[in-house]
Structures are given as structure tokens and as C-alpha cells.
């Protein structure tokens, strides 16, 4: 599987097994909670409206998806405010991109 956004100029891309890629920690929040791609995708799909909404989210995922446990702050025109949107959706979008790039490169290589 391709990592992140693929190889950058001057940086050799690293391919890893699917399981290593899927289970690797990609987010560590300010509470010390760690999330893999698997954690993000399955929590979103199974608890957060991907396939249904679970009325009770587990605490680490709730903190990440609802309460900015990353602690990110936005600054605009000298005014600071906490990030209002979750990092989960953009993270899942990146995961989907990595899958698409990996499939494209695999198909291209096998031709």
C-alpha cells in the first residue's frame, strides 16, 4: 500500500503490506489516544453515520470526532479559535486516496 500522498520529489516511496498500512497508528491526540486507519474507517462506518449512528460512541473516538482532542487552533485576522470540524472526515478521505493510488500503481505495474 502507498503511504500518505505517495512519493514526493526526491523521496523514495515506501510500500508496506496491507495489514501494516491498515493497522499503523496515524493519529495520536492530546489525550494519548491512538488511531489507526482501521480504527477511523470502522468507527465512522459502524458508529458515526457511515452505515448507522450509534447513540454511544466510545470515549476516545467521541473526543476526536466531537471535541477536538487534537487541540488544533485556527487563527484568522489575529483571532484564535478551536477547530470546529472533526479531523475524521479529511483523514478518511486521505485513506481513500491512498487506496486509489495503490490500486492504480498496482494495475499499471501489472500491465
Taking alpha carbons only, the member of 40, 47, 30 closest to residue 93 is 40
Residue 67 lies in a domain: yes
Distance in angstroms (rounded) separating the CA atoms of residues 58 and 3: 27
State the Cα angle at 72 between 70 and 73, rounded to 5°: 160
Residue 3 lies in a domain: no
Q: Which domain holds residue 63?
A: 25-110
- Spatial neighbors of 90 by CB under 8 A, at least 6 apart, are none
Residues of the chain with pLDDT under 70: 1-13, 50-52, 109-111
Q: Are 40 and 86 in contact (CB under 8 A)?
A: no
Question: How much is the pLDDT for 2?
Answer: 47
Domain count, the chain: 1
Bridge pairing between strands 34-36 and 25-28: antiparallel
Residue 37 lies in a domain: yes
Amino acid at each position: 500500500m502507498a503511504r500518505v500522498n505517495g512519493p514526493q520529489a526526491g523521496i523514495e516511496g515506501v510500500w508496506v503490506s496491507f495489514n501494516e498500512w491498515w493497522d499503523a497508528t496515524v493519529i495520536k491526540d492530546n489525550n494519548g489516544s491512538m488511531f489507526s486507519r482501521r480504527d477511523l474507517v470502522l468507527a465512522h462506518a459502524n458508529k458515526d453515520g457511515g452505515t448507522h449512528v450509534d447513540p454511544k460512541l466510545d470515549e476516545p473516538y467521541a473526543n476526536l470526532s466531537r471535541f477536538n482532542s487534537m487541540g488544533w487552533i485556527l487563527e484568522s485576522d489575529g483571532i484564535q479559535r478551536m477547530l470546529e470540524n472533526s479531523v475524521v472526515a479529511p483523514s478518511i478521505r486521505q485513506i481513500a486516496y491512498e487506496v486509489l493510488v495503490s490500486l492504480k500503481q498496482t494495475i499499471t505495474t501489472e500491465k
